[in-house]
Every structure is written in structure tokens, then in C-alpha cells.
Chain A
Amino acid sequence: EAGVTQFPSHSVIEKGQTVTLRCDPISGHDNLYWYRRVMGKEIKFLLHFVKESKQDESGMPNNRFLAERTGGTYSTLKVQPAELEDSGVYFCASSQESGVVQYFGPGTRLTVT
């Protein structure tokens, strides 16, 4: 069974540009989470989908971040326009319907210059 996959693995963009990160959860997992680790800081929760619905987006930093999960399958996280402080590693995780355990993807390292 394939694990959580994320694309791209690395992205380098200039300040003001747009970037879209993609996450494919484990097949059949209703819950999908996005987290971010800024350099030197702890991993922080961004938002949680249950199927295609946003259950909790309390961790989203500001309205430059837009997450979607069309059809309850893969999810995208768009940053527009990107700022320097958006640099970090973005992790996606998924879990079963009432699952306690989250399975993480390898992360996308975003560098904004």
C-alpha cells in the first residue's frame, strides 16, 4: 500500500510568486492534515480536512494560504503571494475515519528568496 506522497519535494520561488503544494493521502483515509515546520521551530498544525470539508483551519497563518481537497482525495495548498517567512517544510498527513494515528508524507521544502 502506498504511503502519503507529496509533490514537489523541493520548491524555490521568489517573493511574490505563487506556489502550489500537493498531497496524496493513503487511499481510503478520510482525514487529511497539513503541518508546517519553519526553520528552527516546532512543527505546527495548519488545517484538517474530513473528506472534502475543512474541519479546522485554525492554524492557517493568513489569507495568503488556500487549501483545497476536491472530491475528498488529494489536497493542494496554495501560497499566493509567497513571502520570505513562508519558507519551511510543509508536511501532509492522513488517517482513517476515526484514526488516532496520522501517517506523514516526506514533506515539501519551500524556499522563498
Chain B
Amino acid sequence: AQSVTQLGSHVSVSEGALVLLRCNYSSSVPPYLFWYVQYPNQGLQLLLKYTSAATLVKGINGFEAEFKKSETSFHLTKPSAHMSDAAEYFCAVGVDSSYKLIFGSGTRLLVRP
């Protein structure tokens, strides 16, 4: 069965510092992988997706993620954090032909001035 693990329910970084949010997945078939972000009082917004093309995926707002099959990981990074990046981030795997999503438990990113 597919599953997603996000390490760290809360991550705190200084403005301008590297952002690294970890995601590991378990899937019996090549997965579709996603990162979504939820800003305060808003819905989920797609940051980026991996669909078996390039292993390094670039998303919106300067975020990118690298699919590493050997490590079953899909970590999200951004070179320099901005105050506006403070939000909750969700990693998800798409399951079977319906593409229903299995989510990780979420990581709340705090950006310190």
C-alpha cells in the first residue's frame, strides 16, 4: 500500500536561509508525487508535481524537488526563504488510475525575520 511520511511537523528557518522539507514515500509502482501548500485561511495550492519525466522538478515561488527512486524520497527545497513562504506544506502520492491522493501529515514552515 502506498504511504507518505513527512519528517518534522514543524520546521523553522531564518529569512534567507535554505528551506528543506522532507518527504519519503512508499509505492509499489512508479508514483506520481506532489507538493501542495496551504497558506493561512486558504485552500491547497499545487507547488509542483513529478510524473516520471525529469527527476528534478521546478515549481512555483522558487521551490523545487528532486525525485530519488533509490531513496524513495521527494524532498522540497528553496535556496532562500522568504517571509511569505510561511505556510503548511503537504507531500502527496497519486494512487492508481484514479490518481486519488495519499497525503503526508504536513509540515508547518515558520520563517523567522
Using CB atoms and an 8 Å cutoff, list the residues of chain A in contact with chain B. Answer: 4, 31, 33, 35, 41-45, 48, 55-56, 91, 93, 95, 99-107
Interface residues of B in 28-85 (CB under 8 A from A): 32, 34, 36, 42-46, 49, 51
Q: How far is the CB of A36 from chain B (nearest CB, A)?
A: 11
Across the interface, B100 reaches (CB within 8 A) one of A45, A101, A103, namely: A45
| Cα separation A33 to B42 with both chains bound (whole Å) | 18
Chain A, residue nearest B106 (CB): A42
22 pairs, CB–CB < 8 Å, chain A vs chain B: A33-B100, A35-B101, A42-B105, A43-B44, A43-B101, A43-B106, A45-B100, A45-B102, A48-B100, A55-B98, A56-B98, A91-B43, A91-B44, A93-B44, A93-B101, A100-B32, A100-B99, A102-B101, A104-B36, A104-B43, A106-B43, A107-B43
> What 1/0 flags go to B78-99 for Cβ under 8 Å of A?
0000000000001010100011
Contacts of B103 in A (CB 8 A): 35, 42-44
| Cα separation A5 to B72 with both chains bound (whole Å) | 34
Interface class of chain A by DSSP = strand
Using CB atoms and an 8 Å cutoff, list the residues of chain B in contact with chain A. Answer: 32, 34, 36, 42-46, 49, 51, 90, 92, 94, 98-106
5 tightest Cβ-Cβ pairs between the two chains A and B: A106-B43, A104-B44, A43-B103, A42-B105, A104-B43
Beta-carbon contact of A100 and B100 below 8 Å: no
Beta-carbon contact of A100 and B51 below 8 Å: yes
Beta-carbon contact of A101 and B106 below 8 Å: no
Of A31, A35, A104, which is in contact with the most chain B CB atoms at under 10 Å from its CB? A104
Known A42-B103, A45-B102: A103·B94 in contact at CB below 8 Å: no
| Cα separation A43 to B103 with both chains bound (whole Å) | 6
Beta-carbon contact of A56 and B100 below 8 Å: yes
| Cα separation A73 to B48 with both chains bound (whole Å) | 27
